[in-house]
Amino acid sequence: MPVLANKLTRRTPWETNTPWFRFYTFLVVAVAFLCVLNGTVVTTNEYRPLYSFGAFHSASGAIVGALSLGLAIWLSFGRERTWVRRLGWAAVTLVAIEGALGLSGTLTPAVRVAHAFLALIFFAVSVEIAVVTSRPWLSATRLPGSRPFLRGLAILALLATLTQGVLGVAFRHGILGIMPHVLGALAAAVIVVVLAMTVMYGLEHRMLHSVAVTMLIVTALQVFLGLILFSISAVVDTEPLIVITSMMIHTAAAAVMLAATVTLTLLIWHIVGRGKTERGS
């Protein structure tokens, strides 16, 4: 019997609770973030002084595609929870669609908007895979009591952030004017701040507080960068590289904000609203 028990508890190369797997998930997140950055450089630049980044963007996209496929396979063989395995294959599907859009040869504004927005979604999904397979998530203490208002507010903040992502991408690619983007940014910022403050002052949970603080910092950064870009747009002879750099940072912050909002929403549904305090699994 001891021999049988040792065989049953022996680790396999596909275990997901190892430092190697955590490093792999962070690598996927890092390369996905890099794709968001260099993709912004390629598609936003009207004068194309950095057009050579297009080849680099394609190469990094191929790398993140291979990494996401490896991640999905690792999750499938690692005896992970069913919904986490599906999340891994959803990431692969997003990369496949992204590649098809990027290589379609018909880069109309609608295609570019879809490509850029799906990049933000993929980055958020890759972050969530890293989060839900981490030790803090698995060992998170669940809070007692039911808080339907907080859950509803989290969903509202997520929808507002997603909508703002669409408006921002559409503005960047010339489909919409700046006012829908500005109004959407203000609305999303208010909702996100209300959610973060509600979590920080209404709940006693370190993990929730950490994500809420991250959301506040990124929201403040987004508003500040948005004001800078709005001021730059009023200057006719602005150096293109300055515009591109500011837009790149603004887009990167938008990706982080979306990922943070998704993370906080999932954490609230994972931790808050249980009947009794128990350990997560």
DSSP 48-63: -TTTTHHHHHHHHHHH
Question: What's the rounded Cα separation, in Å, for the pair 116 and 110?
Answer: 10
User: What pLDDT was estimated at residue 141?
Assistant: 80
Q: Which amino acid is at 97?
A: I
User: What pLDDT was estimated at residue 12?
Assistant: 63
Question: What's the rounded Cα separation, in Å, for the pair 135 and 17?
Answer: 8
Q: Tell me whether residue 84 is exposed, middle or buried, using C-beta atoms within 10 angstroms of its C-beta: 0 to 12, 13 to 18, 19 or more.
A: middle
User: What pLDDT was estimated at residue 108?
Assistant: 79
User: Could you say which DSSP state residue 48 is in?
Assistant: -
The domain segmentation of the chain, as residue ranges, is 7-133, 141-281
User: Could you say which DSSP state residue 12 is in?
Assistant: -
User: What pLDDT was estimated at residue 21?
Assistant: 92
Q: What is the pTM of this model?
A: 0.84
User: How far is C-alpha 224 from the chain's CA centre?
Assistant: 20
- Beta-strand ranges (E) seen in 87-126 are none
The pLDDT averaged over each successive group of 10 residues in the chain (281 residues) is 45 76 94 86 55 69 93 88 92 92 75 88 95 88 79 94 90 82 89 93 86 90 80 59 71 90 91 53 39
CA distances for 134 relative to 17, 23, 61, 80, 223, angstroms: 8, 11, 25, 12, 31
User: What pLDDT was estimated at residue 4?
Assistant: 41
Helix (H, G, I), strand (E, B) or coil at 254: helix
Architecture in CATH for domain 141-281: Up-down Bundle (1.20)
